[in-house]
Structure 1
Amino acid sequence: MTEITATAVTLGPSGLVLDGGEQVRLCASLFYFRIPRESWASRLEAVRASGYDLVDVYVPWNFHEIAPGRWDFEGRRDVAAFLDLAHAAGLRVIARPGPYICSEWDGGALPAWLTLEEGLRLRQAEPRYLAHVEAWFDQVLPLIAAREHGRGGAVVAVQLENELDFFDCADRAGYVGRLRDLALRHGISVPLVACAGQGDLNGATGDVDDVVPAFNFYPDDRSAFIEPEVRRYADLVADSGLPLLVTETNRLHATLRRLVVSGAKVVAPYLQASGFDFGYTPSVGNWGDPGGFMSHDYDFGGYLDPVGGARPEHAEARVLSAVLRTLGPALAMATTAPADDAYTADVATSASPSRLLLDGGGELIGVPNLTDDAGTATLLAWPGGPEVAVPLPAASCLLVLRDLPLDRFGLPGTLRLASADLVGAGPDGLELSAAGASAIVLAAPDGEPVLVELGAPAPGAPVQARVEAGAPGVAWDVVVRHPRDVAAPSGGAADPVGASGPAGADAGPVAAEHPPVTALTRLDLATRSGFTTRHDLPPSSEELGVHRGRTHYAAGLAGVDELLVERASDIVDIALDGAALPTIARFGATFLLPVAGAGRLDATVETWGHANFDDVRLPALQLGSLRGLGRVWSVVGRSDVSALWHVSAAGGWPGEPAPLRSLAGWSSTRAGESTTYSRGLPVDGMHHHALRLGGVAGSVQMTVDGAARTVTEDDPWLHLAPGEGHDVAITVPHLPGGSLVAELLRLEPVLGWDVEPQPDEAILDLARADAAGATVPLPLELETGEERWFDAAVPPGGLSLRFEGAQVRVSAFAGGELLGRVWLDDPARPRFTGGDAGRLWLPAAWNAGSIRFLVRGTVGEESPVLSSVRLAATQE
């Protein structure tokens, strides 16, 4: 692949070159859609103060197309204004408009209604899907193109798609090629990149011309094998004359140092600038067992917490970015190599350390400590010289310089060794940074090396030395600063607000506790309209225009004893004759529900979010899966079909005619080999049926009348439409003593549903409505299934809200927005991931002195109670 050039932007072996400036670059993820507009400028300034000069910015399609054909680029959706602010802050942008972004965002940003269109296949070179993508790109790409670097804007690269190598795309070249063509048609002239999530370059790019491969690399921070893996990636792209772009990775700067010294030219840790998912925007993903709800608090421990406070890693960012600026083009043009003989250490370190051979002379060696204990690294001061022992802090990576010519800085001689970080150099001397003691070796031209061991600096108390070379007129002034004292590139405050505590500590988003809320106002306000329409079958939420929000269903149950419910998701609250049942949140897994004697079923189904990955283990974890009550069936018959299965396997054992055994009951010495069991099921050709397999471990491959199907242990049900099931084959690895149980249910649909859609906009209208009320104290006790509106008075300013109680779900509203939802102490609650699921944030700009709560009591071991609402000021 040839070098790709755009106006003022070049992508070549030295990395992303802007206006001719060659430098290894650090990039922070910063997402405008997770931050109030009023905080955009301060958040951008906080990133710039870290020394990072790039930000990557997802642009989520469904944040801007909020309903089919209804576009919104105003207010906090004004991405153009955000890009302009990034430029004003001195930052450059890698824009990531998808169409799929993942980002633990609702549906990975793919609009929820897409799969309602028959035959449309997501993330494929398929005409109907591509037509929708084209409409999205027609909206967003002109905004990006107008803000390219070289046209007076911030954008220096555009990413197409996201981690396509995780997804089963049938025609990668056709799909990525079409995205490229749309980008070029809209005038995108900066480099186009596509990132591989698991190292499959072709899988991510389709090997399409003019689309540069990049890597998302999430290692174990303590892995000894990071360096050789990264060097391999660098070698792969170097064969095409391209740099190694790591477009996502871990956040610890000890790990980022290992990537830099192994050849990465752009390093973009995800997520350095945390944020918050306001509204109904978190996703449902596969980080749980196997599924999880993403929290509204979107935080993986980056150097800025969700409300913008700096954590200790912010200082580490300033140090590393200063090293990259100081070494500049010499580092950008460096080549990487193993450094297996460069040092010894008394703690666990890399299995194959890396060194960078700097352009113009010298080398940079990475010396990681993979333990939580301080250690010592031993190096030769110079070839033939004495050994030098230097401290190796816990969970760190020293960047050791060797044999660096100093004439490029206007200084004499050579820096033969520095175990501290070189964060500045010029005619006035050398500036280094270290948290502990360090060693440097300097040598005059043709002179003997001089070893100087320096003590540990303290914050505000640098260590200074004047090193005499032993040659007339040759000396160097050296200062070693604590990392906390390394200045931001603008010369601003070295320590932003919040950067305190031990390295790696979570400074948290709060500054001072307020008195807790002691009383609420219970409002005389309905929680829904009550206007319903009749449907034969329960429609999906998306069919009703509920892309975010919830849907209410009701049906009569005369003569029904047991229901089978398929694909109900995300949060399903069912009542029988008004008596609430425990909440169901099982990611669309099929379940049986005894209803004998009940005359009516009511269900409220709330969308937490749409799947942002594609996980076949559960229906609601599949990309493009719909939300709502799913299909509801009356069970009208059962058959045990565990016996009379024909057995076959490769190699003629068992032989013909095929023996009959129970399912998975064949006995063989060939453990682990695939064995197939087949039979016809007693289906009648008129009814729907459901086959349940008990005892599935992992997944089972099946064919039904010649069509491939999969059943998993998390959802061991297979739906059979009328006419299906006459020829069923199940293939499982043979396990001596293994067995499966199979049961066939005959089904009839439950007909006659009264349905009320309640999209997010309808809920927000209620949250804004005026209503009278009466004061009630906390703790607040509710009946199971009871749902009410409450107001709470709060002090001014930005606030962190924390809720305590049990068997309660709370949605909090302010500033015309849903701040978020919490679910307190309920056995039915799924695993939450991505941040602190018990915390919500009220931004200062949205605080008008009160918050509105929608509170629902759920069924469980305890009575529903909201015990307290704790408040703390946030530093924004």
Structure 2
Amino acid sequence: MNMETKSDASLQLSASSLRINGQSEIILCASLFYFRIPRALWRDRIEQVKAFGYNAIDVYFPWNYHEREEGSWDFTGERDAEAFLQLAKEAGLWVVARPGPYICSEWDGGGLPAYLFAKEHMVIRSADPAYMGAVKKWYDRIIPMLANYELSRGGTVICVQLENELDFYDCPDPAAYIAGLRDMALGGGIEVPLIACAGQGGLYEASGLVEGVVPTCNFYPNDRDPAFEAKAASYGQRLAGMNVPLMVTETNRSHFLLRRLLSCGAKLIGPYLQVSGTNFGFTNGTNNWGDPLAFMTSDYDFHGMISPEGHVRKEAYEGRLMRRVITVYGTALAEAESAPASEAASIDGGQQTGGTLLERRLRLPDGGSLLFLANVGESAESVHLQLRSEGERVVPQASRLQSVPNRCIVLPVSVPLNGWGFEGTLLYATAELSDAKQTANRTAMVFHAEAEGEIALELGQGASFSARDGMTVEHQTENGELVLAFRAEAGQMAACRIELADGRELTVFGLAREDALLLARIEEDGRLAFEPGFEYDTAPRELNVDWTVANLLPAETMSAEPAIRTGKAEYLEENGIYRGFAWYKAVGGAPAGADVLGLLVHQGSDAVSLYAGSAYIGTCTPGGGSRYLPSAGIGGGELTARVEMWGHTNFDDPRLPALRLNSKKGLQGITAVTSRQRLSSNWRVRRVHSGNVDPDFLRNDRDDSEWASVSFGGWLSPDHPAFEYYRRRFTASGTADSFTLHFKGIQALAQVYVNGATAGSVHPFDPFVDISAHVKPGEEVQITVFLQRVLGLPAGEVTLYEGNAARDWELSACDEDGLLANAQRHAAAASASELPLRLEPGSVAWLFGALPDGARDVPGGWRVQVEGSGMKLTAALNGTIVGRLWLEGGASRPVLSGGDQRSFYLPGAWMREGGNGLTILLEAVEAGADSQLDRLIFTPVGEIVQRSSEEEG
């Protein structure tokens, strides 16, 4: 496999370096996603990233953000990706471009357009010609744009990532697929290196290891994993064998972990989502971060450096400090090779104790090492180091080295001083060197520590002290060997000015770490300049919002378009519906006068709200499976299902149908259940010793009369795992046409056979199986279940639902524009209201809020906290959906993940003159209890707390 990069390429890779235009670099790369940030704020976010130490951004380009319907492309306005690349160019930030076609990012469908899922026989994320033909249409638009912004063409794109974490997906031939994407990218003009990232360490599965595509790694460990360096270094060694460096394209956001990665020789370090954002509109994803299903919040925030609304967090200062440490060592650090720390030093005593680790060092090309001392424990520790290169010297000698949890400090040993303008050696330091400035005859060096610091210098000439402030000289020899020590106290700066025999001057500063975080620069005269950290006004403010409300007929469609008659229940994508809300209407199939016990939803997703006539039955989130909702005797007439597509899954997981990456939304039917039979008793059981199904046990005429008779799953087996056949018969209802088995509480795997035919599989996450295709009403039915259990886990209770399938289906839908158009049609008739607002179960209403003119006086906008219970909200500002929330309270609410579940962001950039309005769709989704919206709390965004002169001093 050839990973060689061209000698004249703008980005050159080798086992120990990453060079841009010939200069070795350490790239700190922050995720910055234009599609989650208002366009008016793109430049601001870019400048924030650069100000806090990052020299690159990684950018996903979601295919379905630009092709919202098949053949309909949009790269204008908020979707103007080229304008974003231009801003990055103007700021001088390098770009790692990630055009997919699959991107993940917890985004709707991982960026894949939903129309692909309706293409019969298409195999997504593979070399399937039909899929690759669709990808080519996307690449034909995005790849030339990226090529135009490559570094060699005057832009800042330094590499292009193909696909994303393909090793998490069951791709039939990764090499063929990645090679096909590579050829498309090259054909579109890409000349910078192509990369492919591994999500769970499968370099081949992620990249195919094809020629011309460089594998990279994504690591998401526990930040305190004591074995992490060993893992990362092993990948570094494997990649070095391909003559490319370790490049970490995604990882956690703490600079504690990022420093540990630096110690392992990573040349590109890309923490994911240092800049948070918002899933505006219907762009949220769903995935397996719940139980297993989770709905992604509109707020997209993993607590990185910059909040969704643009607030600078404390972690940003850690980023700036890390960059300063990298910069102070310059090319030497960028070209350093990672090696075991034990070759140069060890924690004194021979064995690491407590939580302090000394695993890796960076071996500098011109001599010396940087040791990385990390504390993965729970408490601070005082440690001593034994230095091999310094004759087994134990340090510190006259002070205390404190190791603090969640800190990884970089300590120099035997580092030549010529990089800072004079001869000699930095023998060791137990304080971290973060800054240095050299002028004609003067050099200033800034160290910082947690408690105390000690710095040993060998200057090779005589030295005297012209000034000392808070720094002691613990040792001095005639040839210029010095040991300096200082106490690191917040707000106190230690300094020592040293006059060298040759007339030059060296000033050594010692700071507390918390002060070093706020150091802005070393002035020309050698003084240190500090800047205060950002502190924001987060006190809620009273906004006098004029509220009005319009109640809707909850079982009626909100679409202005005529309904589509489909005859049967069909998935939404099969009818060209890719996002938003949809309404299924059908005629209940129960015979006249039948007592309907409940309604059974078949293969429904995402949020399904059921009505029988105007009566509300309930809301469920089946995850693509089935759900039974009791209906208290109603359900034989007109049925309505309001379905919200929360988002297509961004990650493939076989545990639920809706978590398969090509899954479709909506539902496949509703049954009016007229009979529930408990079938847990009197099963015949046969224990076997093979996991392979024996067709003889499935036969309808198989004699099982000699088998033991037990309750389902009731055989106590000594086998682990246990393999068992369970058989029993029942007589199907003569008036029903729909039959479904429910294995409630099953904690095993089961294959279900009806009259000898395969009916489907059952497992804990999807315990329903529809057997209607194999049952004739009024006839006897033979069920055989092949059960695989571990350690006697329960097999569940078996229930048969019999009833009648709904018929005469029709379908209507609203995307964002259609939904808000409905709001406008009801706005004039809305009546004045106040909060709190209470809605009966199943009710739907539009809530309109006219914001006061003073709302525009806060340029950053507002964060709105919502208090209430049992209610689902879709909130829009001036015609754009800014948040979708599902308030706590009740059993119907799914797991929500990815950000703040209780608030949404009103961008100041989207406020306008002449009136600003909130439009909120309210759905009272909790059956059996009223839902309530108590209040909305408005907190200003971007308002800096003004310090008094005394505070600044």
Q: TM-score, normalising length from structure 2?
A: 0.84
**Is residue 354 of structure 2 the alignment partner of residue 348 of structure 1?**
yes
The letter for the 1-side match of 2:608 is V
Q: Percent identity?
A: 36
Could you tell me which residue of structure 1 aligns to residue 897 of structure 2?
Answer: 833
Could you tell me which residue of structure 2 aligns to residue 783 of structure 1?
Answer: 840
Q: Secondary structure at the match of 1:353?
A: strand
Could you tell me which residue of structure 1 aligns to residue 679 of structure 2?
Answer: 640
Q: Structure 1 residues 365 and 726, CA, compared in 2 at 3 Å: closer, same or farther?
A: farther
Q: Structure 1 residues 8 and 768, CA, compared in 2 at 3 Å: closer, same or farther?
A: farther
Contact 2:559 2:813 in 1 (8 A): no
Deviation at 1:112, TM superposition (A): 1.3
Q: Say which of 159, 175, 178 aligns to 1:176.
A: 178
Could you tell me which residue of structure 1 aligns to residue 454 of structure 2?
Answer: 439
Deviation at 1:322, TM superposition (A): 1.3
C-alpha separation in 2, matches of 1:703 and 1:324: 64
Deviation at 1:209, TM superposition (A): 1.1
Deviation at 1:768, TM superposition (A): 5.5
Bigger CA drift: 61-70 or 510-519? 510-519
User: In the TM superposition, what are the counterparts of 1:208-607 in structure 2 within 5 Å?
Assistant: 208-340=210-342, 341-344=345-348, 348-349=354-355, 353-380=359-386, 382-388=390-396, 389-427=400-438, 428-445=443-460, 447=479, 449-456=481-488, 458=490, 462-467=493-498, 476-481=506-511, 482-487=515-520, 499-500=534-535, 511-517=538-544, 519-523=546-550, 528-529=558-559, 531-557=562-588, 558-559=590-591, 561=596, 562-595=598-631, 596-598=633-635, 599-607=637-645
The letter for the 2-side match of 1:365 is L
Superimposed CA distance per residue, residues 485-522 of structure 1 (whole angstroms, 9 cap, x where no aligned partner): 3338999x99889645xxxxxx7xx6442205564022
Deviation at 1:689, TM superposition (A): 4.5
Deviation at 1:554, TM superposition (A): 2.2
Bigger CA drift: 859-868 or 390-399? 859-868
Contact 2:862 2:906 in 1 (8 A): yes
The letter for the 2-side match of 1:383 is G
Could you tell me which residue of structure 2 aligns to residue 792 of structure 1?
Answer: 849
Deviation at 1:438, TM superposition (A): 1.7
Deviation at 1:772, TM superposition (A): 5.1
Q: Say which of 702, 721, 737 aligns to 1:673.
A: 721
The letter for the 1-side match of 2:895 is R
C-alpha separation in 2, matches of 1:116 and 1:43: 37
Q: Say which of 843, 853, 868 aligns to 2:907.
A: 843
Contact 2:159 2:195 in 1 (8 A): yes
C-alpha separation in 1, matches of 2:800 and 2:844: 38
Q: Secondary structure at the match of 1:315?
A: helix
Could you tell me which residue of structure 2 aligns to residue 193 of structure 1?
Answer: 195
C-alpha separation in 1, matches of 2:105 and 2:530: 29
Q: Structure 1 residues 352 and 331, CA, compared in 2 at 3 Å: closer, same or farther?
A: same
Q: Secondary structure at the match of 2:106?
A: coil
Q: Secondary structure at the match of 1:41?
A: helix
The letter for the 1-side match of 2:384 is T
C-alpha separation in 2, matches of 1:539 and 1:765: 25
C-alpha separation in 1, matches of 2:816 and 2:115: 15
The letter for the 1-side match of 2:894 is P
Q: Structure 1 residues 2 and 811, CA, compared in 2 at 3 Å: closer, same or farther?
A: closer
C-alpha separation in 1, matches of 2:530 and 2:567: 63
Deviation at 1:702, TM superposition (A): 6.7
Q: Say which of 37, 42, 45 aligns to 2:44.
A: 42
Q: Structure 1 residues 2 and 785, CA, compared in 2 at 3 Å: closer, same or farther?
A: closer
Contact 1:518 1:778 in 2 (8 A): no
Superimposed CA distance per residue, residues 702-738 of structure 1 (whole angstroms, 9 cap, x where no aligned partner): 7897979642212112334635998956241354586
C-alpha separation in 2, matches of 1:751 and 1:136: 39
Question: Structure 2: where are the runs of 5+ without partners?
Answer: 462-478, 698-702, 776-780, 944-953
The letter for the 2-side match of 1:581 is I
The letter for the 1-side match of 2:233 is R
Superimposed CA distance per residue, residues 77-117 of structure 1 (whole angstroms, 9 cap, x where no aligned partner): 01111011011111000001111111111111111121111
Q: Structure 1 residues 290 and 351, CA, compared in 2 at 3 Å: closer, same or farther?
A: same
Q: Secondary structure at the match of 2:226?
A: coil
Deviation at 1:613, TM superposition (A): 0.9
C-alpha separation in 2, matches of 1:533 and 1:497: 61
C-alpha separation in 1, matches of 2:154 and 2:904: 38
Contact 1:641 1:744 in 2 (8 A): no
Contact 1:315 1:495 in 2 (8 A): no
Q: Secondary structure at the match of 1:715?
A: coil
Q: When the two structures are aligned, how many residues end up with a matched partner?
A: 864
Bigger CA drift: 799-808 or 775-784? 775-784
Contact 1:581 1:859 in 2 (8 A): no
Superimposed CA distance per residue, residues 802-848 of structure 1 (whole angstroms, 9 cap, x where no aligned partner): 11112222211113210111222332111111110111111112123
Q: Secondary structure at the match of 1:722?
A: helix
Deviation at 1:576, TM superposition (A): 2.2
Q: Secondary structure at the match of 1:150?
A: helix
Deviation at 1:420, TM superposition (A): 2.8
Bigger CA drift: 724-733 or 59-68? 724-733
C-alpha separation in 1, matches of 2:616 and 2:240: 62
Q: Structure 1 residues 738 and 605, CA, compared in 2 at 3 Å: closer, same or farther?
A: closer
Could you tell me which residue of structure 2 aligns to residue 609 of structure 1?
Answer: 647
Deviation at 1:395, TM superposition (A): 1.7
Superimposed CA distance per residue, residues 567-598 of structure 1 (whole angstroms, 9 cap, x where no aligned partner): 21111111223122332123233112344343
The letter for the 2-side match of 1:371 is G
Q: Structure 1 residues 409 and 591, CA, compared in 2 at 3 Å: closer, same or farther?
A: same
C-alpha separation in 2, matches of 1:840 and 1:519: 19
Could you tell me which residue of structure 1 aligns to residue 658 of structure 2?
Answer: 620
Bigger CA drift: 537-546 or 739-748? 739-748
C-alpha separation in 1, matches of 2:547 and 2:282: 24
C-alpha separation in 1, matches of 2:619 and 2:276: 31
Contact 2:691 2:723 in 1 (8 A): no
Q: Secondary structure at the match of 1:103?
A: coil
Contact 2:551 2:844 in 1 (8 A): no
Contact 1:7 1:149 in 2 (8 A): no
The letter for the 1-side match of 2:508 is V
Q: Structure 1 residues 738 and 59, CA, compared in 2 at 3 Å: closer, same or farther?
A: closer
Bigger CA drift: 437-446 or 222-231? 437-446
Question: Structure 1: where are the runs of 5+ without partners?
Answer: 501-506
Could you tell me which residue of structure 2 aligns to residue 867 of structure 1?
Answer: 934
* TM-align CA RMSD: 3.3
Contact 2:357 2:375 in 1 (8 A): no
Contact 1:664 1:732 in 2 (8 A): no
Q: TM-score, normalising length from structure 1?
A: 0.92
C-alpha separation in 1, matches of 2:314 and 2:18: 28
C-alpha separation in 2, matches of 1:238 and 1:254: 24
Q: Structure 1 residues 221 and 734, CA, compared in 2 at 3 Å: closer, same or farther?
A: closer
